[in-house]
Structure 1
């Protein structure tokens, strides 16, 4: 029977699978797709944390990651970054940071 571990414990075995997903997204014209964003999207949107799973379940989740879920994740991250930048500007005024 396959071992159950937290998803982060399996990450070191998933580089080729993540590369495959990056290549798939790039073929779909998501030219800035990368492994870290895909992994973070899975953690936040699909797994909603660090659940315990079997390796084959994680591979299946990666292969089934829908581009629309990935784009929602990237959009939300962009908005968070914009909000952080706006907050810093409000705190610091016109100073460089």
Structure 2
């Protein structure tokens, strides 16, 4: 776990309300299979992986609230391509 991920992890309990709000937004859009851990992994591994400084709570809240379903689906797609089980030509 990188230093940045460690710094972000300590904010997870405080961000719980914002994460639930984002999950509810995704549910309203018809994406009700996204879990809290899936959302957290997306934020940690795509949005926050390039942070240079120690994050501030308001920045993390802003990142969560500005995450779109397209951002999340792009993350899921890229992770699927990285999977050792993915083969070219599989039906989508």
* TM > 0.5 fold call: yes
Rg: which structure is higher? 1
**Superposition pairs of residues 14-25 of structure 1, within 5 angstroms:** 14-25=15-26
User: 60, 68, 71: which one pairs with 2:70?
Assistant: 68
1:95 is matched with which residue? Answer: none
1:57 is matched with which residue? Answer: 59
**Superposition pairs of residues 78-97 of structure 1, within 5 angstroms:** 78-81=80-83, 84-85=84-85
TM-score normalised over the length of structure 1: 0.71
Distance in 1 between residues matched to 2:68 and 2:9, nearest whole Å: 20
Higher strand share: 1
In the alignment, structure 1 segments of 5+ residues that lack a partner are: 87-97
1:26 is matched with which residue? Answer: 27
Count residues in correspondence.
81
Distance in 2 between residues matched to 1:30 and 1:38, nearest whole Å: 12
RMSD: 2.2
Distance in 2 between residues matched to 1:32 and 1:54, nearest whole Å: 29
1:89 is matched with which residue? Answer: none
